[in-house]
Structure 1
Amino acid sequence: MPERFPDQRHLSLSCPVTASPIVALLGAVCLLVGISAGTLPAQDDELERPEVLKLVFEGVDKANKGELQRSIATEESHCKNLLAKPFCLFTKWKIFYDRHYLEETEFRRDVLRIRVFYWKRGYREAEVDTVVQRGDKGVRITFKIDEGRPTRVSSIVVRRAGDVLTNREVGNLMRIRAGEPLDLFALDSSKVLLRDRLFERGYADGDVIVDTVVVDDSLKTAAIQMTVLPKWRTTVGKITIKGDSNISERTIRNSLVLKEGRVYRRSDLLQSQRNLYESNLFRQATIVIPPKGDSTKEIEVSVREAPLREMRTSGGFNTVDFIQLEQRFTRYNFLGGARRLDLRGVVGNILAPQLNGALIFKNVTRSLTPSEEDVFLRPTWSASADFTQPWFRDPRNSIGLSIFGHRRSAPDIFIDRGYGLSATFTRLMAYRAPASLNYRFEVTKVEAGDVYYCQNFGVCELNTIGALRRSQHLSPLSLSVFTDRTNDLFYPTSGYILRGDAEHASAFTLSDFRYNRVFGEANKYWAVGKRGAIATRLRSGFVRALESTSLAVGEADDPRGSILHPRKRFYAGGSQSVRGFGENQLGPRVLTVDPSRLKDDDLEGPECTDATIIDGSCNPNAADLPSSEFQPRPTGGTSLLEGSVEYRFPLWDKIGGAVFVDAAVVGEGSTTLVKGTGAITPGFGFRYYSSAGAIRVDLGFRPKLTEDLPVVTQIIREDGEIEIRALDARRRYSPVDATGGFLSEVTNRLALHLSIGQAF
């Protein structure tokens, strides 16, 4: 039984007293604010009631402690949030700390609340005892719970009037099953799911009745009998629109999947309401059906219109693209008919020269020459104007037209400039399952180092490289399908996501870069315990260049058939890929080296000369030439197989942890994935679960991966021109060079990633 406290009236103000100047200052502020806010004459109820310092539940095994705690009125005092936690170590000021006091009447009721909590979940003999330990500053409360034996369901009989639902459908929709505890919430959920399925079949007035629940207290069993009554089939009658002023009634009707005379279904009702809200034309949109037992449903759509113009400015940063700013303007109901115009501009790489390699930011130009560094550190940008026509001939259809321009960069690989237009037709096949057909005509210009063209295109002669650098057409026709069946947008713990893309570019689509490309991705999530989850991802793809590409881009001789736009190649490594590697650092790469290092007289073994470099016979594997002299540059692959497994678990409040294993294989040219470049990297990380998504810190560990990589260097010809040369012999290269000592070797194997949003 709870201990009763004598009536004590006292006055207290908790402020820090310490020799630390900072904390002393906080204490002084605490005192001043306390006086100014009138906290000295504290309220009588707070003086009479002791503070709850700790709340403990013992014996809880079959229930969720979080749900149990939320079901009672008594709360323990606690720090308000994570940011206030450091301050709570020194002060219990009300700005940082929430105090909760013992209310004896509610405390006694909490015992009953806990018993009801268990009773509804099938534990009808649960017993609750309480222990209250009193201290000088407050009380510590313990609820001791004996859950007892559950009352289990012995049998379930569902009688069906008619054949609207099959026995198999009924079984799949039941959330309460024989042998499980008599959970009244599961029983109610079963009724709702069965009723919703009747509604979806067109029986909106159908009902599900629990006829009897017979409980045998001696055997701790319960027998359930239910009846499914479809009643009559329902159709949509007259639809009335109210509240429209600037938006035409025709526009509103076009958004509705519900049509007069059609079968009245639940999915059509929900999709109609989603269409109204997603149009952003309305602050509020309700669809009301008068509660009549009639087969024809008269529907009333009531709307409250929203502003038709919106402007938004946002910014962010990551460790690779530095600081980005975005400006967006949207005009809703542009030219009527719910059409929308979006104007968007983004600028990136802001302060890149100052932040490159500083603080948490990566050095993205480590392997570049000084002249190349400037190009990659210049601002990137993109701008677009998008016109969307929703509900094109059907509420599930939309079309879009767009004009765009951009300057993008993939650090250490290429810079991509382009402009053009695109047209898209989208069909919503089901809820959160769109399919899109897109045609995109783009004039593109790739700026990359000579090494990139030498390795990827097999072209090392500078005049030909210059031809490849000219503007080309990249105009694919693509088909995309997407399905999202997860239970949460930001933090899924169950369900799956499927995505598939197929692209074709040829002379038929007016493209100079010609290829076929296929990519697919599947994510699956399982709940673990109360708040944990296991997330898995598998993605794969391949791309193949068409033979006619070489002539179209101005390179007549392409024996390898390898001319692909770099944007269409596959890369692995990074915060949303294989986290043991930096961005795009897993996969086919080429090594660049200063020719003077190859000709160093101090090297052991055969010395390279200008002649051996020119004819390619120079051997880059001198014994005392360290790997650090060679700079790896990603070139991208033509096939990809990548998978990840991640266990996400709670730590404290909004802080979570994760352990993961990522793996990928990237193939090149006609090489099969079995012979491609691959790695398996484990790691761990922490997440802060904010309302905008997870703020994520991951640390990946890569193995000591040794590869035989091609080597490219440069020579100066007799006419003074620079020419790129690929050496015949490959270099035995390891990114984890042991020459720097044990600590250097360990740190070189780690990859730190800071980003927003889950990895997948």
Structure 2
Amino acid sequence: MAKFHPGDQVSVQRTSNALDRLRKKYQKQNRLVAQISIPNRTYRPATNTVDYTFNIQPGPKVDIIVEGFKLSRRELRKAVPVFQENTLDEDLLNEGRRNLLTYLQTHGYFDATVGIKQHNEVGGDLLRAIYIVDPGERHKLAKVVLEGNHYFPSDLILPRMQIQPAGRLFSHGRFNQGLLADDVRGIEDLYRNNGFQQVKVTSKVQDNYEGQTNQLEVEIHIGEGPQTTVSSLTITGNHVMGLNDFPELSTAPGQPFSETNIASDRDALLDFYFNHGFPSATFEAAAKPMAADPECMNVTFTIHEGEQVFVDQVYVSGLRHTRPSTANQQLEIHPGDPVSQIEMLRTQQKLYDLGIFSQVETAVQNPEGKEPSKNVLVDVQEAKRYTFNYGLGLEFQTGQPAVGSNQPLGATGVSPRVSFDVTRLNFRGRANTLTLKSNLGRLQQRGLISYDAPRWLNSQNWHLSLTAFYDNTLDVTTFTSQRLEASVQFQQTVSRATSLFYRYTFRRVKASDIEISPDQIPLLSQPTRVGGPGLSFIRDKRDNPLETTRGTYNTIDEALADTHFGSEADFSRILLQNSTYHAFGRRRPDDRRYVFARSTRIGLEVPYGNTVIVEPGDPVPDNSSLVPLPERFFSGGGNSHRGFGLNQAGPRDPNTGFPLGGSALFLNNLELRFPPVTLPFFEDNLSFAIFHDAGNVFT
């Protein structure tokens, strides 16, 4: 059960895993309070072995139920963290009570109460926790009104409040007296933080709003009072660090005066000093109103810098397979630098970013000592170097090519699929990665070997990739494509948003199972070598690459295939893409706004020399070669033109209807994306979009 056997090597990790397995075994039996420990360890020097004694107290089974309100088991498990944490204590039960109360309030039971009762069954083998619910009457918050606010507009205050009127997100609104009191305090804090020290906020709740039973209106009146501002700011005690070196402060002449801003400035200044080697720096603040105008304050910051501490040496430990130079290149703190917590944190982050360490810890040796120079210790734990992934499943494709049809819709294809991947991290101790990926099925056979050097030539801005690739794919309603490819690519990170890719690619392509004019079959199905350089430009200013709500995405992809680079076909290719995203709905949270997305793609392929692309049905000139079928532009499918099946847009063979691809592409996609809607079972994980696609492929 614990997978802890005599003869196994002793380690902290093995012992911890054994305890975790035993706990999970009892947790699956709902014994959430099971106590498992190792009270005794006996070392035997003669055999160099350790005897372990496991103490297991299974405890009672735990059952959690709700009385007084009908709640599904799924909602109960979602609300009560006992099920997620697999343990039982008062804190988790109380958190579950608060979650249940929030659930009831979001469904209109604003006056609901939830209590907890624990009960031990006779015999002590069952512990029952009962949530006793009194939902009260169901209400609906119809309206929230703000009055007296002049400095802050209602559009800024309302989204910050916890109470919310009925809408699409909360069908009955969200309200109770506790939330209202919190909102009143929150509005007062907002005004006080901006200099309104005498602000007064009151609230009034009106039931049966406009004669509607159980409908509520909340009125909030804000008495702003006078605003206190900063007249002058004086900073004293800074002897080593200059005023021009300080971070920007919230307290400044002409700005609102508040204790919150002073506390923020205190943290900013002390962080600044701590990160410049002043671990004992202190801060004091004083404020005095002007005699002529008590609403104007003269503020004084007094700093006691203390002694500055520098780095003596930096020691890195825990390197077993990693070259010391690989780790040392990521150090942001060096001998002679001030001891800086932020630079130590950046060192830790950069070492984690290598992807080869599972744990990184940094510390200052003898931090309480009075030495002017101290050692910085960096301890790392290397991650496992090998990762194996394997899978077995079924692959479905519709519309395989059918023989003798002008509309080659074909039949559905089904094939078992096996995948096997191996990843070797930290190859040769340089933080590089060697990867083997493969999958095998009747519809697709694919293998890839890649070597990635993310910090080529010790530069953070250069990435080297070497790739060898084999692919044999039965492409839906088009052809069987065989591709054997090798490439080398350099990625240059110009800025956070801009990247350049320089590559050379050499591949051997072949198309088979083609349904086109007989006189074109030999040219389109024979193996063809394609090789040449390429350049890609990417500028990505999206807020989120996966769920984009605003920003732009632009790409330029250029490639050249030429006989001077080993290619049997001569052609150039360029593909441009411009995408924009606009969110609207000002009063909605960011994840609940409507998004209008547009994407435009323009592609052009120009053959030259003895390479041509002919019109569908036209004969091929003597001594000429065609642009290989897999290298042409195709359109149609879920990621392209959604008005067509996969690769079905564009020129076709006049006899068989088989798609031939083309040398030019224009595609414009428009989408109006709606916020997620709350539905049974799906909750808020489903959203809808209206789209319009226009464009085609041309010869």
TM band (smaller chain)? 0.5 to 0.7
Residue of structure 2 in register with 1:50 after alignment: 134
Paired letter, 2:673: Y
8 Å CA contact 2:613, 2:627 repeated in 1: no
Partners of 1:165 and 1:274 in 2: how far apart? 25
8 Å CA contact 1:157, 1:226 repeated in 2: no
Residue correspondence of structure 1 range 223-622 to structure 2 within 5 A = 238-256=313-331, 273=348, 275-286=350-361, 300-313=377-390, 326-347=419-440, 378-396=442-460, 397-431=462-496, 433-447=498-512, 449-451=514-516, 460=517, 462=519, 465-528=521-584, 529-530=588-589, 531=591, 532-550=593-611, 558=621, 563-586=626-649, 588-590=650-652, 592=654
The CA deviation at 1:380 is 1.0
Partners of 1:559 and 1:121 in 2: how far apart? 81
What secondary structure, in the 3-state scheme, does the structure 2 residue paired with 1:654 have? strand
| Worse-superposed segment, 329-338 or 275-284 | 275-284
Structure 1 residues 542 and 154: CA distance shift in structure 2, 3 A: farther
The CA deviation at 1:420 is 3.0
Partners of 2:70 and 2:672 in 1: how far apart? 44
Q: How many residues align?
A: 513
Partners of 2:603 and 2:372 in 1: how far apart? 54
The CA deviation at 1:557 is 5.8
Deviations 1:189-218 (A, max 9, x none): 99999999x99xx9899x9x9999999xxx
Structure 1 residues 121 and 332: CA distance shift in structure 2, 3 A: same
Partners of 1:302 and 1:289 in 2: how far apart? 11
8 Å CA contact 2:477, 2:648 repeated in 1: no
Partners of 1:527 and 1:478 in 2: how far apart? 35
Residue of structure 2 in register with 1:117 after alignment: 186
What secondary structure, in the 3-state scheme, does the structure 2 residue paired with 1:444 have? strand
Asked if residue 668 in structure 1 is aligned to residue 694 in structure 2, the reply is no
Residue of structure 2 in register with 1:146 after alignment: 220
Sequence identity percentage: 15
The CA deviation at 1:662 is 3.1
Partners of 1:591 and 1:339 in 2: how far apart? 47
Residue correspondence of structure 1 range 696-735 to structure 2 within 5 A = none
8 Å CA contact 1:547, 1:561 repeated in 2: no
Deviations 1:200-243 (A, max 9, x none): xx9899x9x9999999xxxxx9999999x9x9x99998543244
Deviations 1:20-74 (A, max 9, x none): xxxxxxxxxxxxxx99999999657x44x62478686551764698874499xxx
Structure 1 residues 560 and 338: CA distance shift in structure 2, 3 A: same
Residue of structure 1 in register with 2:687 after alignment: 657
Paired letter, 2:666: L
Deviations 1:692-751 (A, max 9, x none): xxxxxxxxxxxxxxxxxxxxxxxxxxxxxxxxxxxxxxxxxxxxxxxxxxxxxxxxxxxx
Asked if residue 59 in structure 1 is aligned to residue 144 in structure 2, the reply is yes
The CA deviation at 1:405 is 0.7
The CA deviation at 1:282 is 1.6
The CA deviation at 1:585 is 3.3
The CA deviation at 1:432 is 6.1
What secondary structure, in the 3-state scheme, does the structure 2 residue paired with 1:579 have? coil
Structure 1 residues 56 and 429: CA distance shift in structure 2, 3 A: farther
Partners of 2:522 and 2:652 in 1: how far apart? 20
Partners of 1:499 and 1:636 in 2: how far apart? 21
The CA deviation at 1:384 is 0.8
Partners of 1:316 and 1:188 in 2: how far apart? 60
Deviations 1:476-530 (A, max 9, x none): 3122233444333432333333333221221222112322222233333344321
The CA deviation at 1:406 is 0.7
The CA deviation at 1:580 is 3.3
8 Å CA contact 1:574, 1:584 repeated in 2: yes
What secondary structure, in the 3-state scheme, does the structure 2 residue paired with 1:332 have? strand
Partners of 1:151 and 1:563 in 2: how far apart? 81
Paired letter, 1:581: F
In angstroms, what is the RMSD of aligned CA positions? 6.1
8 Å CA contact 2:438, 2:447 repeated in 1: yes
8 Å CA contact 2:524, 2:626 repeated in 1: no
Paired letter, 2:218: K
Deviations 1:99-148 (A, max 9, x none): xxx9xxxx765444222333344496443456999xxxxxx997935264
Structure 1 residues 269 and 442: CA distance shift in structure 2, 3 A: farther
Partners of 1:184 and 1:319 in 2: how far apart? 65
| TM-score, normalising length: structure 1 | 0.52
| TM-score, normalising length: structure 2 | 0.56
8 Å CA contact 1:538, 1:643 repeated in 2: yes
Partners of 1:258 and 1:474 in 2: how far apart? 48
The CA deviation at 1:330 is 0.8
Structure 1 residues 120 and 317: CA distance shift in structure 2, 3 A: farther
Structure 1 residues 267 and 545: CA distance shift in structure 2, 3 A: farther
Unaligned regions of 5+ residues in structure 2, if any?
1-64, 73-119, 146-153, 193-198, 209-213, 236-241, 290-294, 399-412
Structure 1 residues 334 and 226: CA distance shift in structure 2, 3 A: farther
What secondary structure, in the 3-state scheme, does the structure 1 residue paired with 2:491 have? strand
8 Å CA contact 1:339, 1:390 repeated in 2: yes
Partners of 1:188 and 1:490 in 2: how far apart? 37
Partners of 2:394 and 2:232 in 1: how far apart? 55
